[in-house]
Structure 1
Amino acid sequence: MKKSSQTELIHAPRLAPQYIKTIQPPLYRASTIIFENTSKLFDRHWSDRYDYSYGTHGTPTTYTLADKIAQLENGNYCLLAPSGLSAINLVNSALLQSGDEVWVPDNIYGPGMAHLRYLQQSFGVIVQVYDPLDHHSFQPSTKAKLVWLEAAGSVTLEFPDLINLVKKAKQHQIMTVLDNTWGAGLAFNAFDFSDEHLAVDITVHALTKYPSGGGDILMGSVVTQEHKLHLKLLHMHATQGIAVSGDDCAQIQRSLAHMQLRYQQQSHSAQEILHWLKQQPQFQQVLHPSDALSPGHQYWQQVCQSQQSAGLVSVIFQENYTLESIRRFCDALQLFKLGFSWGGPVSLVMLYDLTEMRSLKSAHLAQGFLVRFCIGLESSEDLIRDIEQALQAL
């Protein structure tokens, strides 16, 4: 059939061979996916491991990254979402119904708590708060369906009593979901973290942080081991139209090769900065799970056999410093940039008022304003000098 030049531009008569071996896999950008024939169209199901039917379901690019993240976290199945918060909300939406009880740690990620409060007000989900360092404060009722865990908390960095919390949840047949962004699949194995081979049911990971590594991509993941649970999450994932960009997936795929090296470097720098911060009189408490005086250190020792930790260190200033003076300190920093997130090449700083973040009385935390340092890839000596000069602004 003779075709016009316009049609031939769309339906090219000659295509270069489509498959070659390269270090990085090919990038697929697709909304519409072409079926070879009607058999391919109808002999498929949304629950297939690789359902190539429409771009929101997945392409070789998105499935390749999902498989890599599942491997990183020692899971079997992975769903990708546009952000870490989107991944959190996917789990809540898929597993919670009106009248269900969900338990969250007092140091829960703030936007995640905001979503649960919305579910509480709009749909009657019951939200309960527990102390992550005291498993006795986790007292689930027969309505409890889900318990969130953070290891460690993203601001105050307490490492929870993960073993006893998961044991209690399993005794009550409650689903456990861990925000594993801090551990990143490297600090410990969330699906086998004790001598008794305890495992959480789900991990959520903000791939925005260490897997991306550049501070320029938003993405999240939900990883599971059990197929039936995966399908329940997958169904919600599909019906909500949750999808990610193939270009973003390709960028994270490239970064995974050196993710562990970056994590190790930032962990090492954080240790050096931690030791220096502990000697400064302006701080009444320095928080990092590896430090013997930090809340939850003993639980970190039980679980983090690699002794690696994310590059986060928080400090609580002496009570005599006002908010205005600590704001001057933050503004005086030169290498540390004021911004949320972590895991990128540039060090970040953020200021928090703990009185606005906690609902339980925390005897293990000093009173005062908290500043969190997110260590990048700069020289630790330069970062220490930057903090030292900024302290003069107090």
Structure 2
Amino acid sequence: MKQNPQTRLIHAPRKAPQSISTIQPPLYRASTIIFNSTDALFNRHWTDDYDYSYGTHGTPTTFTLGDNIAQLEGGVYHLLTPSGLSAINLVNSCFLSQGDEVWVADNIYGPNMEHLRNLEKRYGITVKVYNPIQVETFQPTDKAKLIWLEAAGSVTLEFPDLNSLIKKAQAHHILTALDNTWGAGLAFNAFDLGEEHLSVDITVHALTKYPSGGGDILMGSVVTRDKELHNKLFRTHAIQGISVSGDDVAQIQRSLASMQLRYEHQSKNALTLLTWLKNQSEFIQVLHPADPDNASYSYWKEICQQGHSAGLVSVIFDSKHQLQDIRNFCDSLKLFKLGFSWGGPVSLVMLYNLKDMRVLEHSHLKDGLLVRFCIGLEHPEDLIQDIQHALEQVKKVKNE
């Protein structure tokens, strides 16, 4: 049959073989996926492990990354989302209904709390707050449906008493969801915590951080071992039209091979900075889960038995320093760039006022303004010099 050139461009008569072996898997870009027959179309179900029916449901590219993230974290089933926050929101919107009670740690990732407060106001859920290192503050009622765990917590980096919190949640038939971005599946296995195979139900992970490693890709994941939970999440994922770019997925897949090397290197450098920071009189407290002086050190040591502790360390300035002093400090840094997130090659800094972020009183935290350092891939001695120079600039301005 003779065809117009335009048709031949779309339906090419000659196609190169599609099966070769390469180091990186092929990249599939797809909205429409072609079925080979009506049998293939109708003899399938959205709960199949690999349901190739439409781009939002998955392609070989997205399933490959999802499988790798699930394996990394110790899970089985996975979903990819456009960001870490969207992964969190997927869990909240899937499992919380009017009248339900959800528990969150007082050091929770701020946008998660904001999302839950919005659900509380609009849809009648109840948000309760607990101290992550005091299990007795977690007092669920019979309406409790979900507890959020974060190890370590945002900004102040407390490592929770995971084993006790999970046991208590299980005794009350409450779903456990862990924000596993800090541990990244490398610091510990959230689906097998070593004590009688104690496990969380769900992990979420901001792949934006360590899996990406470049500070240039946004993505999140939701992982579970439970098929029923996964199907509920997948149904919500599909109804909401959540999808990710195949190009972005391929970029993160490419970075996974170096992820553990980068994680361990940044963790080691953070410990180097920790030792130096603790000797600086400007800081009345240095916060890091692997510091024996940290209030949650024993919980970190119990779970993170290989000694991994990510690349974050926070400091609380002496109260003699006002907000403008801390702003001057941050503005004087050269290598540390002012920005959110972590896990990339460039070190980052961010300042916080804990009085605006916490609901409960915390005796283990000193009063003062907090700065969080996110360690990149620079040499630690250069980072120390950068901080030292910034501190000297603050002193100089105060003395003028």
> Please, what TM-score do these two structures have when normalized by structure 2?
0.98
Deviation per CA, 1:46-89, whole angstroms, max 9, x where unpaired? 11111111100010000000000000000011100000000000
Q: Pairwise mapping of residues 162-311 of structure 1 onto structure 2 (< 5 A)?
A: 162-311=162-311
CA distance in 2, matches of 1:168, 1:194: 17
CA distance in 2, matches of 1:49, 1:393: 58
Deviation of 1:294 after TM superposition, in Å, equals: 1.4
**SS at 1:349's partner residue?**
strand
Match of 1:139 in 2: 139
Aligned-partner residue type, residue 217 of structure 1:
I
Residues 1:25 and 2:18 aligned together: no
The Cα shift of 1:331 comes to 0.3
* Partners of 2:357 and 2:314 in 1: CA distance: 15
- Give the aligned partner of residue 348 of structure 2: 348
CA distance in 2, matches of 1:194, 1:155: 27
SS of the residue aligned with 2:20?
coil
The AA in structure 2 aligned to 1:28 is: Y
1:62 aligned onto 2:62:
yes
SS in 1 for 2:198: coil
SS of structure 1 residue aligned to 2:349: strand
SS at 2:313's partner residue?
strand
Q: What number of residue pairs does the alignment pair up? A: 394
Residue pair 1:325, 1:393 contacting (<8 A) in 2 also: no
Q: How far is 1:45 from its partner?
A: 1.0
CA distance in 2: counterparts of 1:35 and 1:163, whole angstroms: 47
State the shift of 1:216 in Å.
0.2
Secondary structure, aligned partner of 1:56? helix
Alignment partner of 1:49: what SS?
A: coil
Distance in 2 separating the partners of 1:192 and 1:25? 29
Runs of 4+ in 1 over 6 A off after TM superposition: none
Residue identity matched to 2:227: H
Q: How far off is 1:195 after superposition?
A: 2.6
Q: Which amino acid aligns with 2:335?
A: L
Tell me, in whole angstroms, the C-alpha distance in 2 between the residues paired with 1:95 and 1:173. 13
Identity %: 69
Tell me the CA shift for residue 295 of structure 1. Answer: 2.5
* Partners of 1:194 and 1:314 in 2: CA distance: 29
> Which stretch of structure 1 is more off in the superposition, 192-201 or 376-385?
192-201
Q: Secondary structure at the match of 2:57?
A: coil
Equivalent pair of 1:62/1:246 in contact (CA under 8 Å): yes
**Counterpart-to-counterpart distance in 1, 2:154 and 2:357:** 12
Residue number in structure 2 paired with 1:106: 106
User: For the residues of structure 2 that align with 1:171 and 1:42, how far apart are their CA atoms?
Assistant: 42
> CA contact under 8 A between 1:212 and 1:255: conserved in structure 2?
yes
Offset at residue 19 of structure 1 (A): 1.3
Q: Which amino acid aligns with 2:249?
A: C
Specify the code of the residue in structure 1 equivalent to 2:383: L
Distance 1:331 1:276 in 2: 21
Instruction: State the Cα deviation string for residues 249-279 of structure 1 (Å, max 9, x = none).
Output: 1010010001000001000100100000000
Question: Counterpart of 1:327?
Answer: 327
Q: Contact 1:194–1:302 at 8 Å: present in 2 too?
A: no
Rounded Cα–Cα distance in structure 2 between residues aligned with 1:195 and 1:52: 38
How far is 1:116 from its partner? 0.4
Distance 1:19 1:378 in 2: 41
Name 2:37's counterpart in structure 1.
37
* Structure 1 residue 196: Cα displacement: 2.3
- d(CA) in 1 for partners of 2:192, 2:5: 60
- Distance, in Å, in 2 between the alignment partners of 1:30 and 1:130 is 44
Tell me the alpha carbon deviations over residues 284-341 of structure 1, each in whole angstroms, 9 at most, x when there is no partner. 0000000011131110011001101110000000000000011000000000000000
The CA distance in 1 between the partners of 2:295 and 2:116, in whole Å, is: 26
* Deviation at residue 154 of structure 1 after TM alignment: 1.8
In the other structure, the counterpart of 2:377 is 377
* Structure 1 Cα separation of the partners of residues 147 and 257 of structure 2: 32
Uncovered stretches (5+) of structure 1, i.e. residues with no partner: none
Tell whether 2:361 aligns with 1:361.
yes
**Superposition RMSD in Å:** 0.6
Q: What is the distance in 2 between the residues matched to 1:115 and 1:59?
A: 30
